[in-house]
C-alpha cells in the first residue's frame, strides 16, 4: 500500500500550483513590517550589527545601481538577524541640494516665476511642500525590493536632529581652525550658479581647439581657451629655460587689450610642452592662481557667474562660447595666430548634475582644511582599524585621501543647511553653534550660502543615531559594522564619513569594514545609459519576474569591486530557479514531508539520505565562508547548484521510488527531505526573501520548528560535522556517474523518456553501488535482462561499471557508431595535445605546477575516454 499523498488538498492552501510573485511579495512585506521584524532596539542584550544605507536623493527613483546596493545590504542584515544579532539597517534620504532646488525651480519656471520672485523663505517652504508631495518616491520602491530597514528610524538630512548635528560639527571645525573662508579658485557651474567640489566635477575627453598666439616676436603661447586671455596678467617660463631666461623681468603687450604684462619665471612651467611659455590668468585657472600668488600678480575676473564676458571692450556681453571664436578671429585679423589644431582632444570638466562645462572661477568661499582629517582617514585603513574589501581597492582610497585638496563646502543655493555664520557692520564674523543666539542689530546678517550636500551626509553613520547627544542608540550601534556602496562614490562619500567620524567620535572610525561593489552594466559590459538605449528599470523586472528573481540576478553577479553585467535572459533564469524551489517544495508537501527539528538516527538513514545531509553540511560551511568574505556571487552560485542539482535533480528524483514504496524508509525520507528544504530555504532567504518565506511557512506549518512563523527570524543554519559522510558521498557520486552516462546515451539515441530498455548492469558490486540496482533502473527506465536479451550496445562507465543494453529496434546503430567515432577522435586529439605539452621540457620547466598538473589530469581523463569509447564501439552490432 503506497503512502504517497497525491490528493492536492494535502498542499497547504497558501501554496498555489504555480508561484505568482505578485500574490506573495506585498502581503509578506506588510506582515514583516506589522510584526516589527525590522526593528532594532538599543536595549537588546544581543550583539549589535549595523549598516547605514547610502541615503538616496529625495529626488531619486530606484535604478539598477540602487537595486544591487540594497540587495547586498539586505542579504547581510537578514543573515545577521537570523544569526542572533541585534541587526539595525538604518534608512533615510539625502536632501540633494542642487538637484532638489533645480526640480522646484523648473516647476516655478513653468509658471513664469523664479525663486527670486518668491524670496528665500517662501522658496524654501515651497521645496518642503514638494518634498512632502513628491519627494521620497524611492522609499516605496525599496519596499518593493524587500528592504528590511527599520522604518521607525527613517531620517532625512534636513530634519531637525541632523540639522543640529551639522551645526554642531561646523562650529567645532570652525573653532578648531579647520574651517575657513578665503578667495580661491573653485569649480563653478554657470547653469546651477554654484560652486562645486572637485568630486562633483566629471572629466571627459572632449574635442576642442589648441590655438597658438603670438604676443610678440619673442612670446608665443598656446591655449584651448582663447577667451581667457582677456584676463592674463603675466606670461610664465621656466626659470632654467635657456631660451627665455633673458626675458624674465621684462614686459610684453597683451594683444587686443593694450595692457602690458610681465614675464615671470616659475618652476610650474613645463619647458617641453608647446613653446615652453604659458599665459597666466590667475582668476580663471587653478594653476595660474598659484603662480599669481607666488609672484604677486593681480587677478582679473573677466567673466560673470553665467559665463558672460565682463571685460571692457568689443567682446563685453558675449557668452564664453561666443567670445572664443570672436577673439580668435580678431587675433587672426592682426596676424597673431601662429597655429590652429582642430580637433584637439583634451580633458574638460563637467558639472556632475547638469553636464554643463565647469568654469574655474576666483570666488570667496568656505573651505574645510582637510589635511589632518584626511591623514586620520588614511591612518585608520593603514593600521587595520578599518578594512577595505576587496583589498586592492585600498590603493584607490589612498590615492584620494593622501592627495586631497581643501574641500570647498559653500554652495550658492537656498535649499540646504545654511552656513551658521553672521557678519557684523564693522567686519565682525561670528559662528553660531546649536542653542546659541545669533547676533542681532543693524547691519548683522547671516551668510547666504548653504553647505555642500556631502557635508551633512558625511555625518550619516553617527548623526542618524542621535549625535551630538550621547544616546543609547549611539552607544549600541556605533561604530557601524560594514559600509556597502559602489566604488564610484568611494571619494564622494566614504572618505568624508571617515574624516568626520574619526574627528567627531574621538578617533573611532564610522565602520569596521568598507565593502565596495561594482557598477551594473548590460550583458556586453557596456555602461547603461539612455543614449545607448540599454537602461534596465528594476521595477519593470520586479513587475514581470518578481523581486526575488531581480535580487538573485544582481547578487549572483556581485563579485567584490567588479562590475555586474545583467540581461533579461539571466533574470528569466533566476525566475526559473524560484519556480524550481516552489515545485520541489510542493512535491515535498504533497508527499508528506515535514519539519520537526529532529532528524532520524543515522542508523535509520539510507545512503542517499546520508549523502544529501553530508552535502548540506559542506554547503552551510561554504556559504558561511563566502558571506564573511563578501563574495555574494559565490554564495549564490553555491546555493544555486546545491538547490538545483543536488536537491531537485538528484535527491528529489532519488526519493521518488522510496516515497512511492511507503513504510519506514518513506517516513525517514520525508523527514530528511523536510529538513534539507528547511535548511536550504533559510540559507537562501537573505538573497531571495519572499519566495523562501512563503515556502518555509508552508513547510513548517503546524510544526515546532523554531516556534516561528517566518523564516526571517528563524535560526541561521549551523554545519554539523558529525553528519559529514565521505563514503556516502563517494557512493552516490558513483551512482550518479552511471545514471548520467545512461541518460546521455538515451538522449543521444533519441529514446523517448518513457521507453523502457532491457539492460544488464555489471560491476556494481566492485563500484560499491550494488544496493542501488533497482534505484538506477527506476531512474533511467531499464528492465531486467530476460531470456531473449541480446546486447546491442555497451557503455563503459568510469569506475568499472559496464552497462549492456538491448536496443534492437530502439536505436539507430549507424548513428550511434558515428557519434562514438566522433567522440573517439576528440579524445585522441586531446591526448595528442596533452602529451605534446608534457613532452616539451620548456613547457614543463616554466609552467606553474598547478598548470602542469591540470594537463596531466586532462591526459588521464582523455585516455580513460578512449578506452571507454573503444569498448562501446566494439560492442555495437556490425
Which residues have a Cβ under 8 Å from the Cβ of 338 and sit 6 or more positions away? 212, 213, 214, 220
Q: Give the 3-state secondary structure of residue 536.
A: coil
Q: Is 846 annotated as contributing to ligand binding? A: no
DSSP letter, residue 711: G
Q: E strands, 301-459, where?
A: 337-351, 359-368, 387-389, 407-408, 410-411, 421-423, 429-431, 445-446, 450-451
Q: Give the 3-state secondary structure of residue 126.
A: helix
Peptide bond into 468 cis (omega under 30): yes
Nearest-angstrom CA–CA distance, 718 and 707: 18
Which residues have a Cβ under 8 Å from the Cβ of 673 and sit 6 or more positions away? 588, 591, 593, 651, 652, 655
Q: E strands, 369-456, where?
A: 387-389, 407-408, 410-411, 421-423, 429-431, 445-446, 450-451
DSSP letter, residue 712: G
Residue 313 CB-half CA count within 13 A: 17
Which residues have a Cβ under 8 Å from the Cβ of 769 and sit 6 or more positions away? 731, 734, 735, 738, 776, 801
CA angle at 699 for the pair 697 and 702, rounded to the nearest 5°: 75
If you count them, how many residues does the chain have?
A: 878
Parallel, antiparallel, or unpaired for β 480-486 and 450-451? unpaired
CA angle at 390 for the pair 388 and 391, rounded to the nearest 5°: 65
Sheet with 793-797, edge to edge strand ranges: 782-783, 757-762, 801-806, 793-797
Which residues have a Cβ under 8 Å from the Cβ of 515 and sit 6 or more positions away? 72, 389, 482, 483, 484, 485, 560, 630
Residue written as grid cell 568624508: 496
C-alpha of 136 from chain center: 22
All 3 cell numbers of residue 629? 568574505
The dihedral through the CA atoms of 732, 735, 737, 739 has a sign that is: negative
Longest dimension (CA), the chain: 117
The phi, psi pair for 767, rounded to 5°, reads -80, -5
Nearest-angstrom CA–CA distance, 798 and 777: 18
Residues annotated in a binding site for ATP: 530
Residues annotated in a binding site: 530
Amino acid at each position: 500500500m503506497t503512502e504517497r499523498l497525491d490528493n492536492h488538498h494535502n498542499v497547504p492552501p497558501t501554496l498555489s500550483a504555480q508561484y505568482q510573485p505578485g500574490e506573495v511579495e506585498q502581503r509578506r512585506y506588510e506582515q514583516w513590517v506589522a510584526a516589527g521584524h525590522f526593528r532594532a532596539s538599543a536595549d537588546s542584550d544581543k550583539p549589535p550589527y549595523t549598516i547605514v544605507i547610502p541615503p538616496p536623493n529625495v529626488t531619486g527613483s530606484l535604478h539598477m545601481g540602487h537595486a544591487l546596493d540594497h540587495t547586498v545590504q539586505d542579504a547581510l542584515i537578514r543573515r545577521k538577524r537570523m544569526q542572533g544579532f541585534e541587526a539595525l539597517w538604518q534608512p533615510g534620504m539625502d536632501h540633494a541640494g542642487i538637484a532638489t532646488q533645480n526640480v522646484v525651480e523648473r516647476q516655478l519656471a513653468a509658471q513664469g516665476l523664479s525663486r527670486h520672485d518668491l524670496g528665500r523663505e517662501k522658496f524654501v517652504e515651497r521645496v518642503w511642500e514638494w518634498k512632502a508631495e513628491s519627494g521620497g518616491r524611492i522609499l516605496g520602491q525599496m519596499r518593493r525590493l524587500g528592504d528590511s530597514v527599520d522604518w521607525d528610524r527613517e531620517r532625512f538630512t534636513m530634519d531637525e536632529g541632523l540639522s543640529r548635528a551639522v551645526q554642531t560639527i561646523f562650529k567645532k571645525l570652525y573653532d578648531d581652525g579647520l574651517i575657513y573662508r578665503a578667495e580661491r579658485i573653485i569649480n563653478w557651474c554657470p547653469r546651477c550658479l554654484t560652486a562645486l567640489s572637485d568630486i562633483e566635477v566629471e572629466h571627459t575627453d572632449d574635442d576642442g581647439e589648441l590655438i597658438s598666439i603670438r604676443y610678440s616676436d619673442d612670446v608665443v603661447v598656446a591655449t584651448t581657451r582663447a577667451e581667457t586671455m582677456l584676463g592674463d596678467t603675466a606670461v610664465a617660463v621656466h626659470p632654467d629655460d635657456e631660451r627665455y631666461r633673458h626675458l624674465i623681468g621684462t614686459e610684453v603687450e597683451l594683444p587686443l587689450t593694450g595692457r602690458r604684462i610681465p614675464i615671470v619665471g616659475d618652476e610650474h612651467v613645463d619647458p617641453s610642452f608647446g613653446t615652453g611659455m604659458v599665459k597666466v590668468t590667475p582668476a580663471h585657472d587653478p594653476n595660474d592662481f598659484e603662480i599669481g600668488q607666488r609672484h604677486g600678480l593681480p587677478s582679473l575676473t573677466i567673466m560673470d557667474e553665467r559665463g558672460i564676458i565682463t571685460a571692457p571692450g568689443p567682446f563685453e556681453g558675449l557668452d564664453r562660447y561666443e567670445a572664443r571664436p570672436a577673439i580668435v578671429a580678431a587675433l587672426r585679423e592682426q596676424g597673431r595666430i601662429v597655429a590652429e589644431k582642430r580637433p584637439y582632444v583634451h580633458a574638460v570638466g563637467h558639472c556632475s548634475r547638469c553636464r554643463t562645462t565647469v568654469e574655474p572661477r576666483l570666488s570667496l568661499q568656505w573651505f574645510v582644511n582637510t589635511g589632518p582629517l584626511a591623514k586620520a582617514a588614511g591612518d585608520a585603513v593603514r593600521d587595520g582599524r578599518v578594512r577595505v574589501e576587496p583589498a586592492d581597492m585600498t590603493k584607490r582610497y589612498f590615492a584620494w585621501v593622501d592627495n586631497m585638496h581643501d574641500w570647498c563646502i559653500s554652495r550658492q543655493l537656498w535649499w540646504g543647511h545654511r552656513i551658521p555664520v553672521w557678519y557684523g557692520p564693522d567686519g565682525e564674523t561670528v559662528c553660531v553653534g546649536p542653542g546659541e543666539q545669533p547676533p542681532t542689530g543693524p547691519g548683522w546678517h547671516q551668510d547666504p550660502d548653504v553647505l555642500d550636500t556631502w557635508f551633512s551626509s558625511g555625518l550619516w553613520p553617527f548623526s542618524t543615531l542621535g549625535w551630538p547627544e550621547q544616546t543609547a542608540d549611539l552607544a549600541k550601534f556605533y561604530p557601524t559594522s560594514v559600509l556597502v556602496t559602489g566604488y564610484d562614490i568611494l571619494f564622494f562619500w566614504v572618505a568624508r564619513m571617515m574624516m568626520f567620524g574619526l574627528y567627531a567620535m574621538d578617533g573611532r572610525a564610522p565602520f569596521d569594514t568598507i565593502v565596495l561593489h561594482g557598477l551594473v552594466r548590460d550583458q556586453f559590459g557596456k555602461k547603461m545609459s539612455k543614449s545607448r538605449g540599454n537602461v534596465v528599470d528594476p521595477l519593470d523586472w520586479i513587475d514581470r519576474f518578481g523581486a526575488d528573481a531581480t535580487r538573485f540576478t544582481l547578487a549572483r553577479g556581485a563579485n567584490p569591486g567588479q562590475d555586474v553585467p545583467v540581461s533579461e535572459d539571466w533574470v528569466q533564469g533566476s525566475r526559473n530557479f524560484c519556480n524550481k524551489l516552489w515545485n520541489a517544495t510542493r512535491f515535498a508537501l504533497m508527499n508528506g514531508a515535514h519539519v520537526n527539528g529532529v532528524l532520524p538516527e543515522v542508523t535509520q538513514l539510507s545512503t542517499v539520505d546520508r549523502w544529501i545531509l553530508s552535502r548540506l553540511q559542506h554547503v552551510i560551511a561554504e556559504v558561511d565562508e563566502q558571506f564573511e568574505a563578501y563574495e555574494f556571487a559565490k554564495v549564490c552560485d553555491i546555493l544555486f547548484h546545491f538547490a538545483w542539482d543536488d536537491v531537485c535533480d538528484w535527491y528529489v528524483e532519488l526519493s521518488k521510488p522510496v516515497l512511492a514504496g511507503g513504510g519506514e524508509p518513506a517516513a525517514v525520507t520525508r523527514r530528511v527531505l523536510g529538513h534539507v528544504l528547511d535548511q536550504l530555504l533559510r540559507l537562501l532567504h537573505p538573497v531571495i526573501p519572499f519566495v523562501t518565506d512563503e515556502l518555509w511557512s508552508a513547510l513548517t506549518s503546524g510544526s515546532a520548528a523554531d516556534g516561528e512563523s517566518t523564516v526571517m527570524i528563524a535560526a541561521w543554519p549551523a554545519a554539523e560535522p558529525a553528519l559529514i559522510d565521505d563514503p556516502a558521498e563517494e557512493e552516490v557520486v558513483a551512482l550518479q556517474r552511471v545514471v548520467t552516462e545512461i541518460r546521455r546515451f538515451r538522449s543521444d539515441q533519441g529514446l523517448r523518456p518513457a521507453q523502457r530498455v532491457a539492460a544488464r548492469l555489471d560491476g556494481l558490486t566492485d563500484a560499491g553501488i550494488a544496493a542501488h540496482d533497482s534505484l538506477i533502473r527506476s531512474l533511467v527506465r531499464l528492465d531486467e535482462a530476460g531470456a531473449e536479451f541480446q546486447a546491442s550496445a555497451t557503455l563503459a562507465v568510469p569506475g568499472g561499471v559496464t552497462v549492456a543494453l538491448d536496443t534492437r529496434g530502439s536505436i539507430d546503430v549507424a548513428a550511434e557508431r558515428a557519434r562514438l567515432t566522433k567522440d573517439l577522435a576528440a579524445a585522441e586529439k586531446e591526448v595528442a595535445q596533452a602529451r605534446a605539452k608534457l613532452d616539451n621540457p620548456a613547457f614543463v620547466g616554466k609552467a606553474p605546477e598547478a598548470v602542469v598538473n591540470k594537463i596531466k589530469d586532462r591526459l588521464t581523463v582523455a585516455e580513460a575516454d578512449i578506452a571507454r569509447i573503444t569498448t562501446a564501439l566494439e560492442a555495437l552490432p556490425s
